[in-house]
Structure formats: structure tokens, C-alpha cells
């Protein structure tokens, strides 16, 4: 897996990223603030509770990159589960969730990696913004990811 840290999330020319960045700038990740703005991009988000041994889905938007890869049914059933079926892929991403959760500092990355989707291998490349979120006193991380290019079938 290749992860390139972006010097600025604004490097991603995407309306959803802009909305998410604006929401985070005004709310600092507190879900109780600016809920109307949040609703615009919530279907594209993933929310994870982060612990020392990995993360669990709190929410997986049907229009997220995960929804595009694994389908809407996976997103509906994801709540409380540990993550993607491709455990090696998920484990690598979890390190960044842990860092963001502990430092309370967002990161923006361009990620390129192979991923197993129900037994079929793809090469994916996407931008992602990982940011700390707060539900009342409960801390988690939010992830907005957008494909940089369409997934490529590997065979």
C-alpha cells in the first residue's frame, strides 16, 4: 500500500471534500454543530470507533468508497463490525485512524493499493480525509474518501 500525505486537503479538487473541510473548520468535528451541512456529505462518510486493537464501524455511508466497492448491503450491515473483509488493507488504514484519534489532528492522503473485494482483486487509488469527530463526549474518526481513478481489475 502506498500512502502519500497531501500538504493540503485543498489539493483534492472535489466539492464534497470542500464541504467536509468547511464543516470541520467550523465544527472541529463536533456532530452537534452544523448538522445541516453535515447531512450534505454524510452518505459519503465512514465513521469509526477507534481502540487499541483496531476500529469498528459506527456508520458506513452507502455512497462511500466502501459502498462503491462492497455494495450498499455491506454498508447497512457494517455497524459494529471491525471493518473491511480485506484484513491486511483494513489493518494498514487502522494505523492512521489510531493516530488521528490520539492526536486529534486530521490527515489528508492519496492512497494506492490492491484490495480484495469478495475474492476479486482490484487496484484502487483514492483521496481520503481522516478527521477526529465527537458525539457528545464520545470520540471517533470520520473518513471521507473519493476515488482518484476507477478501480482496476487485477488478474
Global pTM? 0.87
Residue with more model confidence, 65 or 40: 65
Q: Is the pLDDT of residue 3 over 80?
A: no
**What pLDDT is recorded for position 16?**
83
Cα–Cα distance for residue pair 100/107, rounded to 1 Å: 7
Cα–Cα distance for residue pair 49/141, rounded to 1 Å: 7
Residue 75 — very low, low, confident or very high, per pLDDT cuts 50/70/90? very high
Q: What percent of the chain has pLDDT over 90?
A: 41
Beta-strand relationship, 107-117 and 2-5? antiparallel
Residue with more model confidence, 92 or 67: 67
| Local structure of 133: helix, strand or coil | strand
**pLDDT tens track for 82-141:** 888 888 888 888 889 999 999 999 998 888 989 999 999 999 999 899 999 987 777 899
Q: Where are the domains of the chain?
A: 13-109+129-146
Helices (H) and strands (E) in the chain, counts: 5, 6
Amino acid at each position: 500500500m502506498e500512502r502519500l500525505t497531501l500538504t493540503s486537503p485543498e489539493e483534492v479538487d472535489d466539492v464534497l471534500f470542500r464541504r467536509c473541510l468547511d464543516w470541520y473548520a467550523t465544527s472541529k468535528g463536533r456532530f452537534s454543530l452544523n448538522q445541516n451541512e453535515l447531512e450534505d456529505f454524510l452518505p459519503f462518510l465512514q465513521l469509526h470507533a477507534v481502540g487499541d486493537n483496531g476500529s469498528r464501524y459506527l456508520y458506513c455511508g452507502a455512497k462511500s468508497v466502501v459502498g462503491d466497492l462492497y455494495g450498499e448491503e455491506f454498508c447497512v450491515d457494517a455497524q459494529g463490525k471491525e471493518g473491511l473483509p480485506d484484513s491486511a488493507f483494513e489493518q494498514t488504514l487502522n494505523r492512521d485512524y489510531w493516530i488521528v484519534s490520539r492526536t486529534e489532528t486530521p490527515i489528508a492522503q492519496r492512497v494506492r493499493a490492491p484490495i480484495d473485494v469478495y475474492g476479486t482483486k482490484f487496484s484502487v487509488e483514492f483521496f481520503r480525509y481522516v478527521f477526529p469527530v465527537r458525539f457528545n463526549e464520545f470520540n471517533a474518526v470520520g473518513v471521507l474518501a473519493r476515488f482518484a481513478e476507477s478501480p482496476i481489475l487485477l488478474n
